Amino acid sequence: VLSGKGGVGKSSITTQLALSLSLAGKPVGILDIDLTGPSIPRLLGLEDAKITQAPGGWLPVQVHPSQVLPPTSELTEKTINGDGYNQGNRPLPPRTNGDTAPTPDPRPIGALYAISLGFLLPSRSSAVVWRGPKKTAMVRQFLTDVLWPPIDYLLIDTPPGTSDEHISLAETLLQQTAPPSPTSSPKLAGAVIVTTPQAVAVSDVRKELSFCRKVGIGVLGVVENMSGYVCECCGEETNLFGRGGGEVMAQEFGVTFLGRVPVDGQWGVLVEEGKRPRYGSQVVKNSSDEDEDELGEEEYEGTNQGDRGREVLDEDHDPEHQGQRQARDSACLVDKYRSCSLSSVFDGITRQLYNIVEVTSVNGT
């Protein structure tokens, strides 16, 4: 997962691609080679985890094992339109089968593993002050000395730019993943390029596309991150950073445009606080009496808006509901991610990537 620009969300994209592949039943590994700013441990909620040294190499940290997830009533709609959004870009209401609980998916999810320099540092604030040769050696060690369990996909989160880490990564990957015969398909599927819509970001990300062509790494597609913000309460969309820059760049370079990823505040709540995302009627918005007077005396099933809001507040403070929420929040990350509106977006992106990789593997091109 590459980008010539910092701050475009490569680590977030990598994490969500891994979660989406895991939900599809694929065992996945995440390799974080952003040595000076490793974000993967924090996004996975595993900052206290440590790498285990074993005979022959390092053992990656297990994020979650393969398992069958419990049913949830807070899943967002999985129907994707052409832009990679759910209809209207809005989180949709819970889906249930009448008064019964949703039917659980009997298929187990894939196990997820991760390795990062962040697992070797004493604390989050520890600085890594290394020159180029030491960075290069660490990247090569991560690529050759990690004892991965059986996995179908390895996602590599990279730092911005086209510097030492990228050159070392490209050289080592091309050597390690070379096909055993001319008729075999390479193990290195390709690169996912991440950008944001604004022109200043796109101009830097173009350099990463040129870098991939020079070193011989194929480009699977472009993701336009932070493309719009959808209000969690009213569903109104605002293009904070513009729209369409990534798609135009993909067309110019003749690569696949994988989709747009909007800003979702509940994704931040999930990774920062470990809480299950909540949308729509689950989000409480306080209104003053003055606002209620302006809105009039409109009622919803015999209850005015002020009473309706207070009922939600009372529910949030009810011990029974608090206990249920704590049980939900104690679930594993991939379980809670199913309730995030971005899970439907990445479901569509992952399907495209899977099809591209499988077609490449079958055709050998």
DSSP state of 146: B
Instruction: State mean pLDDT over 2-27.
Output: 93
Segment among 62-66, 84-88, 179-183, 213-217 with least mean pLDDT: 84-88
What pLDDT shows up at residue 100? Answer: 39
Q: Which residue did the predictor score with more confidence, 178 or 339?
A: 339
Contacts of 175 (CB under 8 A, 6+ apart): none
Segment among 119-133, 144-158, 165-179, 279-293 with least mean pLDDT: 279-293
Instruction: State mean pLDDT over 122-129.
Output: 81
Instruction: State mean pLDDT over 68-96.
Output: 45
| Percent share of the chain, pLDDT over 70 | 73
DSSP state of 60: P
Neighbours of 65 (CB within 10 A): 14
Evaluate the CA torsion angle 53, 56, 57, 62 in order and state its sign. Answer: negative
Contacts of 334 (CB under 8 A, 6+ apart): 19, 22, 23, 63, 64, 69, 109, 112
Instruction: State mean pLDDT over 110-139.
Output: 87
303-304/61-64 β-pairing: unpaired
57-59/52-54 β-pairing: antiparallel
Q: Is 204 exposed, middle or buried (0-12, 13-18, 19+ CB in 10 A)?
A: middle
What pLDDT shows up at residue 128? Answer: 82
Residues pairing with 221 in the sheet: 192
Q: Which residue has the tokens 């970001």?
A: 201
What pLDDT shows up at residue 340? Answer: 92
What pLDDT shows up at residue 286? Answer: 36
The beta strands (E) that lie in 60-111 are given as 61-64
Residue 200 has pLDDT above 60, yes or no: yes
Asked if 169 and 212 count as a contact pair (C-beta separation under 8 A), the reply is no
User: pLDDT band for position 358 (50/70/90)?
Assistant: confident
Measuring CA to CA, which residue among 213, 215, 229, 238 is closest to residue 342?
Answer: 229
Contacts of 196 (CB under 8 A, 6+ apart): 5, 8, 9, 202, 224, 225, 226, 227, 241, 245, 246
Amino acid letter, residue 179: P
Measuring CA to CA, which residue among 126, 111, 141, 114 is closest to residue 51?
Answer: 114
Q: Which residue did the predictor score with more confidence, 115 or 307?
A: 115
User: For residues 136 and 196, what is the distance between their CA atoms, to the nearest angstrom?
Assistant: 28
pLDDT tens for 244-266 read: 889 999 999 999 999 999 999 99
User: pLDDT band for position 71 (50/70/90)?
Assistant: confident
What pLDDT shows up at residue 88? Answer: 33
Residue 84 has pLDDT above 80, yes or no: no
Tell me the Cα Rg of the chain. 22
Instruction: State mean pLDDT over 131-144.
Output: 87
Instruction: State mean pLDDT over 34-59.
Output: 91
Residue 313 has pLDDT above 70, yes or no: no
Q: Which residue has the tokens 């070797």?
A: 120
* Residue 208 Cα distances to 60, 133, 160, 219, 252, angstroms: 28, 22, 9, 10, 14
User: For residues 60 and 151, what is the distance between their CA atoms, to the nearest angstrom?
Assistant: 12
153-157/61-64 β-pairing: unpaired
191-195/219-230 β-pairing: parallel
